[in-house]
Chain A
Amino acid sequence: MTEPADMDIAAAAKRLAEGELTAVELLESCLDRIVRVDPQLGAIVTLDEDRARADARASDDRRLAGQTRGRLDGIPVGIKDIIADATLPMRAQSRTALDDWDGVGRDAASTGALKAAGAVVIATLATMEFAIGMPEATGPFAVPVNPWNPERWTGGSSSGSAAAVSAGMVLGALGTDTGGSVRAPAAFTGTTALKPTRDLVDTAGVFPLSFSLDHVGPMARTAEDCAIMLEALTGERFDLLRGDLRGVRIAADSLDRYAERSDPATRERFSDALRTLSDAGAEVITVHLPLYDELSAAANIIQLSEALSVHRHRLDRSWNDLSPSARIVFAAADSISASDYVQAQRVRTMAAKRYDGVFSEYDLVVTPTSHLTAPRLSDLDPLRPLSPITSMHTAMWSPLGVPVAAVPMGFGDDQLPLSLAIAGGSWRDRLVLDAGHALQLRTPHHLARPTLPFAEGITS
């Protein structure tokens, strides 16, 4: 029998509403999963079981009193360790002190929104230092391993959020995305995530990485679950997914940029996904995406320039406490000139206008989220901090601020998840999720679960 922790949010909400499950039972199932698998996975930073149990009891009491707050009421969730919670400590995966940041000690807007919807926030979840470093095996924090294979990385920087959802420790999680940080880990762990339209979800209370690129996004098992979370995060209606794409025009990436470097299965799974979207009623047209390299370059120049601006005082004060990869990234960012930063923002303006045209001709654009499956942890080198981004097709969308979902599209030849990226014009988040929903109504990829715990002797 399926354990409650293995359900998606929509299914759990239905059972809660029908009185077949209580929030306390659901929470205990997740806590039991955490005890059994997190020593191997390393996804949890701080867990507050007492608060979670009190919140779950309160949810059950509300339900009995007929005062439930909706489908997220009583659902266990986690938050990335750069998103503030009023009582859970935030470390941003760093040895450096954060007491100079004014977000400490109160809920981020997104944390507060989930709590207001009745979600049970049970833990903070691992990332990389300030969401910009690399996994640091010798550091004081656990490095999350991929629930599908402990030798593989989860992707980052919302690493723990993806691992925790994939492993059933929580049913949903908050991540942040500046250059792909909810999409890449979702892709590598077989989960679903949305980078919403920029400014749709309030980033107040998130430790900044890049002021003009940071997004907060939901991570869950399905597009429908992301819609449920997005509704709580915004107060708008995103739960009316139909899975019917008749009348929707989809531009499909021609894949001509990375044909020789991709996992052999990527092209096949991508073609399968296109056929499924077509079966759902969409018109699919193959295109060459304009300004791919320029947008990716602008994303990197802007992100690193703004990150250095955020952290420069910290570098002077706490240089020796930073991880080697963070030191390398910040030191290299110091080479970017002011005029290059401004030029990147100008290219962003030009590209946004160009893509307004693309999104007036097509409703959606789809690409693989990454052309490779999750990299080996042993291949990650702190002295090569940009190396993990070379297989990901996430950064180009970030300067545009448009919504992009990462949705499972099957498995590579190494039996690790592959993912479809679905992008839409600004504020068309529901259509993006609806396309993901259409895919998931017709495919089983999102239903696959990793076999956990790993065999004896394997630890993170």
Chain B
Amino acid sequence: MREKSWPLSDDERAAVATVEVALTSMALLLRQTELGASVRPANVNTANDRRSPQRD
């Protein structure tokens, strides 16, 4: 766990480390996901702009 800017109790520090392990595992899975270099990040504000406007 890298040094935090904010004060944590020992219990909280241990809990943070546990959550960080889970997040690191998720990040590793995503890093290993085959994408191809041309895949761009989803646009935060227009997640559905490219979708069909069909409503049903």
A contacts, CB < 8 Å to B: 197-199, 211-212, 236, 293-294, 296-298, 300-301, 304, 315-316, 319-320, 324, 327-337, 340, 342-350, 352, 356, 383-386, 399, 401, 424-431
B contact residues vs A (CB 8 Å cutoff): 1-2, 4-8, 11-12, 14-16, 18-20, 22-24, 26-27, 29-31, 33, 35, 39-42, 44-45, 47-48, 51-56
Specify which chain B residues have a CB less than 8 angstroms from the CB of A337 in the assembled complex: 27
What 3 A-B pairs have minimum CB-CB distances, sorted nearest first?
A345-B41, A297-B26, A332-B19
B30 near A347 with CB under 8 A, answer yes
* B-chain residues with CB within 8 Å of residue A342 when the two chains form the complex: 41
Q: Please, which residues of chain B bring their CB within 8 A of the CB of A211?
A: 44-45
Q: A427 and B56: CB pair below 8 A?
A: yes
B5 to chain A minimum Cβ distance, whole angstroms, is 7
Q: A383-B12, A386-B22 are in contact. Are A301 and B7 (CB under 8 A)?
A: no
Min CB gap B49→A, angstroms? 9
Taken together as a complex, chains A and B put the C-alpha atoms of A334 and B12 apart, in Å, by 14
B48 touches A426 (CB 8 A): yes
Q: Are B29 and A294 within 8 A (Cβ)?
A: yes
User: A132 to chain B: closest CB distance in Å?
Assistant: 12
From the candidates B14, B26, B35, name the one contacting A350 in the complex (CB within 8 A): B35
Report yes or no: A428 in contact with B56, Cβ–Cβ below 8 A.
yes
| B1 → A minimal CB distance (Å) | 7
B19 touches A385 (CB 8 A): yes
A211 to B31, CA, bound (A): 22
**B52/A426 in contact, CB under 8 A:** yes
Residues of A within 8 A of B51 (CB): 356, 425-427
Do B41 and A301 have beta carbons less than 8 Å apart?
no
- Residues on A with C-beta less than 8 A from B48 are 197-199, 401, 426-427
Known: A212-B42, A334-B4, A346-B40. A383 touches B11 (CB 8 A): yes
Instruction: Point out the residue from B2, B26, B35, B39 that lies within 8 Å of A301, measured CB to CB.
Output: B26
Complex-state Cα separation, A348 to B42, whole angstroms: 6
Assembly CA distance A153 to B19 (angstroms):
22
User: Which of A324, A352, A424 lies in contact with B12, CB distance below 8 A?
Assistant: A324
Query: In the complex the two chains form, is B44's CB within 8 Å of A212's CB?
Result: yes
> Which of B18, B23, B42 counts the most chain A CB atoms within 10 A?
B42
Q: Which residue of A lies closest to B7 (CB)?
A: A319
